[in-house]
Amino acid sequence: MSALEIAAVATSFLAIWLTARRRMLCWPINLVACALYFELFLDVRLYADMMLQVMFGAGILYGWINWARGKQQAGTVVVVPLRAAPAGAGLVAGALGAVAIGWFTSNHTDAALPWLDATLSSFSLVAQWWTARRHRESWLLWIAVDAIYVGLFAFKGLMLTAGLYAALIVLAVLGFAGWRRRRVDVCDEA
CB 105 within 8 A of CB 48: yes
Lowest mean pLDDT among 68-82, 83-97, 141-155: 68-82
Instruction: Give the pLDDT mean for 142-164.
Output: 94
Which of 105, 102, 106 is CA-nearest to residue 119? 102
Residue 20 confidence (pLDDT) above 80: yes
The pLDDT value given to residue 73:
60
Q: Residue 77: phi, psi to the nearest 5?
A: -80, 130
Which of 160, 169, 161, 47 is CA-nearest to residue 112? 47
Band of residue 188 on the pLDDT scale cut at 50, 70, 90: very low
111 alpha carbon, distance to own chain's centre:
21
Could you give the CA distance from residue 77 to residue 67 in angstroms, rounded to a whole number?
6
The pLDDT value given to residue 180:
82
Amino acid at position 18, single letter: L
In the chain, % of residues over pLDDT 90: 65
Strand-pairing partners, residue 79, are 184
Coil/strand/helix, residue 79: strand
- pTM for the model: 0.81
Could you give the CA distance from residue 143 to residue 109 in angstroms, rounded to a whole number?
28
Q: How confident is the prediction for the chain on average, in pLDDT?
A: 89
Could you give the CA distance from residue 187 to residue 189 in angstroms, rounded to a whole number?
6
Q: For 102-136, how does the pLDDT look when each residue is reduced to its tens digit (9 = 90+)?
A: 999 999 988 888 999 999 999 999 999 999 898 99
Could you give the CA distance from residue 157 to residue 142 in angstroms, rounded to a whole number?
22
